[in-house]
Amino acid sequence: MARQLAVRISVIVLVALGGLLALDFLFPLPPAPQYSPIVLAADGSVLHAYLNPTQKWRMKTELREITPVLRKAIIEKEDRWFRWHFGVNPVALVQAAGRNLFGTGRTTGASTITMQVARLLEPKERTFGNKLLEMLRATQLEAHYSKDEILQLYLNLVPYGGNVEGVKSAALLYFQQTPDYLSLAQTVTLAIIPNRPRGLVLGKDNAAVLQERNRWLRRFGAAGLFPKDDVADALLEPLDVERHAAPVLAPHLSRRLVRQFPRQAIIRSSLQRAKQSKAEDLTRNYVRRLHELGITQASVLVVNNRTRQVEAYVGSADFRDFAGQGQNDGVVAVRSPGSTLKPFLYALAMDRGLVTPKLLLPDVPTNFQGYRPENFDKHCNGEVTLERALAFSLNIPAVRVLNQLGVPTFTDKLRQAGFQSVTRNRARLGLSSILGGCGASLEELTNLYVTLADAGKYAKLRFTTTSAEDQKAVLLSESSAFLTTDILAQLTRPDLPLGAASSMRLPKVAWKTGTSYGRRDAWSIGYNRQYTIGVWVGNFSGQGSPALTGADVATPLLFDLFNTLAYNSPNDWFVPPAALDFRLVCAESGLVPGEHCPNQVIDYFLPSISNGLRCQHLREVLVSADGNFTYCRTCAPAAGYRRELYPNLLPEVAAYKEAQGIPYRRLPPHNPQCQLVRGTERAPTITSPAANTEYVLNRHEQQQLLLSCTTDNEVRQVHWYVNDKFLRTAAATERVFFRPQPGPLKISCADDHGRNTDVLVTVTEM
C-alpha cells in the first residue's frame, strides 16, 4: 500500500509540474522592460543618457549598484519577508483580508516586492481578479529569477513621478550620483517615494519629503537596521534638491555607440570623464573666439597610445549649435587632409631605402605628366633636405617622392591603415593624394599618427572598455617611425604658432599641420609617448576662411589640449631603436661621400635598406685650355686640355637656377667639332605644354601656347618644331610663346646635341 501511495503521489506531482510548465509556456513572462540607453565613462560614471522608446527616464540599475543600505531600506519598508516567501506572503494575505473585511486598520493589498514587479511589468486596473493574476505572475517570476534579480527589477521599475522610473534615474536626475554613491539620507529618501510618487515630489515638496524621510530614518534606527550614529548624522543632512537635466557629455560618441549597440542598455565607453569635460570646454571656448574670423566648428580626438583607447571625443564645438550644424560629427566626416599624410609618405620612402633625412630633394617647378604642384607659399628653394621638406611641409618634394615610391604602394598602406575613402577610390587616386587629393577623417588621421607613436604598429581605435584589443599590424619600421618623429619634433619650422617658441607652456610633442585647398580645413595632429591628439578646425558647410590654416588656428588648440590633458605625462621621449645607425654623408647631396665631398655631415640610415649610392654632385670634365669648350672622351685631344670639377645638377634644378638668376658654375658648351650624336637618355624634358592635354584658347583674346623645357646643363640651344615643322631656335631656358591652329599638335624639342623629345596635345578655340 505504501508503495502504491508513493507512486500515486509521484504521478500527481509530475502531472502538476507538467501542468505548471505548460502554463508557463502558454503564458510566458512579460518582455523585459525597455531601458534608457546610457553611455558610461571608463570610471563607470554616466556620460550621456537617452529617453527610452516610451519617452521615460528608466536607466538600468546594475546589481553592483544596489548597496546593502538600499537593499535593507527597501526590504524593511516594502517586504520584510521578501527573502523567505515564494512571491506571495500567505500570512500577509490573511492579515490584509481580515483588515479589509472587518474594516480594522489600514486597507492594504499585502503586495510583496515580487507582486509589485508583476504589476509594474503589466499595469492593470486594481480588481480582485487582477490581484489573483498578479499573484500567479509573482510565483512565475520567483521560478525564473533569483531574489536579487527580482529586487533589481523592482528598483528599475518603481515610479518617482512624471516620466522618471527606477532608482538610478532618480539618483542621477535629483542627486547627480549613481545609487552606489548616495549617502544614507539620500538612499532612504529614494526608498520612501515609490509608494507616494505624486504626494512626495522631489524638488517641489522637499519639506514633506524631509519630514517623511526623517520619520523612516528614526524607524529604521529603532529597528536596529543602521548604526545609531549614522542615523543621527543622516537626520541632520539637509534636503535641498531639484530636478537636473540628464548627463549630456560626449554627445557625438554616445549617439554613435547607441547606434552601434542598439540592444545594450548600458554601454561602457573608453572615455575619461575629466579629459572629456576639459576637451569639450576648451574646444567650445576656443571656437567662440574664432567666430569673427568666419570659423564656427572644431573637432578633437584624444587617444591613449598604449591601449589605443579613445579618452576624449569632441565631434563639434557645440552639439546644440544648430546654425553651425553642431550635430554633425567632425571626427568621422571625410574631408581633404591637406599635408597631414606627408610624414607617413616619407616614413614609407625611408623603409624602401629611397630617402634618408639629409638627402637633398629638388624643390623646383616640375611637371609630373601634366600635374604641376606648387608649394604653399608659391616659392621654390632649389634643393632641400628631406627633413626640411617635411618640417616646412613643402609640396613639390613630397610629390616627387610619391612619384618615386608609386601611388599604388602609398594608397595600399593607407588602406591597411583603415582609410575607407582611399579604399573606395584607390583606382582614381594620383599624385595629388599627398596634398589632400584624397578623403580622410580625423579618426583615420589621428590613428595614423598613433601608429607613428607606437613604433609603426597599427591597430584599430577602441571606443569601449569591453572591446577586445586588436592585433597590431606592422605598417612602418620602428626606425622610420622614429626618424619621422624626430623631424616632427623640431621647433625651427614655419607652422609653429607666433610666440609659441618662447612660451613656457610649449609641450614636448611631435606634430604636423595641414591646410586643405581653399582653406576649408585646418588640421594639427601631435603626439608624445603617452597620447596622440588630433584637431580639425573649419566649417561643416565647407566654407573657407582666409585665416583657416593649420598653423594659425589648429595648432594653438592642439597645444592647449596637450598642456591641459597631458600635463602630468612622464617626461620621457622616443629613443633611437637598435636597428638604426648613422653615417657620414655629403652635405651637398645627402649621399654616401664620393671622391669630391669635403663637406660631410652625420645622417641616420637604415642598414641594408637605405640607398648606398656614392655622391656625384661634382663631375670631372675635360675642358679646353682657354676654358671655352668641353670635350667628351671621343673628341678629347691628346694634349692641351685640363680636368675640372663642375656641378652635376639635374636639368630641372639647372633650369630653375637659370630662370631665377641664381649663380652657379655652368658647364661650357661641348666641342663644336665633335661629330658624336648623343643618345636620348638625357634628352630635353618638355614642361609645357603637358602631354596628352587639351588646351582651350580664347580666339578673341589672341591667347598663345607656352613652350618650355628642361635640359642637361651643357645644352645651350634647343630647336622647337610643331607638327614636324620648324618653329624657331631658342636658348635652353627661354620661354617661347606661339599661337597654334586648332586641332591635334605634335610638339617636338631637340637640343644642340641631337637629342629629341615629343609630346602630343589638342588645341580648341572658343
Mean pLDDT of the chain: 88
What's the whole-number mean pLDDT along residues 277-297? 95
Which grid cell is 184?
A: 544614507
Q: 489 exposed, middle or buried (CB, 10 Å; 0-12, 13-18, 19+)?
A: middle
In the prediction, which pLDDT does 107 show? 46
Homologous superfamily (CATH) of 51-236 is: Biosynthetic peptidoglycan transglycosylase-like (1.10.3810.10)
Residue with cell 541632520: 236
Annotate 62-87 with DSSP letters as a single string.
PGGGS-HHHHHHHHHHH-TTTTTSSS
Residue type, 677: V
Phi first, then psi, for residue 228 (nearest 5°) are -60, -40
Rounded Cα–Cα distance for residues 559 and 538 (Å): 18
Active-site residues: which are they? 78, 339
**Nearest Cα to Cα of residue 366 among 333, 330, 403:** 403
Residues 375-432 pLDDT 10s: 988 899 999 999 999 999 999 999 999 999 999 999 999 999 999 988 888 778 889 9
Q: How many whole angstroms separate alpha carbon 463 and alpha carbon 47?
A: 13
Cis ω before 689 (30° cut-off from 0): yes
533 phi and psi angles, rounded to 5 deg: -125, 130
Q: Taking the model in full, what pTM does it have?
A: 0.85
Full DSSP string of 496-519: SPTT-TT-TT----EEEEEE-TTS
In the structure, what pLDDT confidence band is assigned to residue 26 with cuts at 50, 70 and 90?
low
Which residues, in sequence order, are bridge partners of residue 715? none
Count, residues in the chain: 766
Q: Encode pLDDT of 514-572 as tens digits.
A: 999 999 999 999 999 999 999 999 999 999 999 999 999 999 999 999 999 887 777 78
Greater model confidence, 344 or 17: 344
Domain ranges for the chain: 51-236, 685-765
Query: Rounded CA gap, 550 and 337, in Å?
Result: 11
pLDDT score of 677:
56
Neighbours of 546 (CB within 10 A): 9
User: What CATH fold (topology level) applies to the domain 685-765?
Assistant: Immunoglobulin-like (2.60.40)
Which candidate, 173, 153, 196, 159, places its Cα nearest to that of 66? 153
Q: Where are the alpha helices (DSSP H) in 622-690?
A: 651-660
Contacts of 668 (CB under 8 A, 6+ apart): 623, 624, 627, 628, 629, 630, 714
How confident is the model over 284-290, as a mean pLDDT? Answer: 95
Are 510 and 562 a contacting pair, CB within 8 Å? no
Q: Omega of the bond prior to 507 within 30 degrees of 0, cis?
A: no
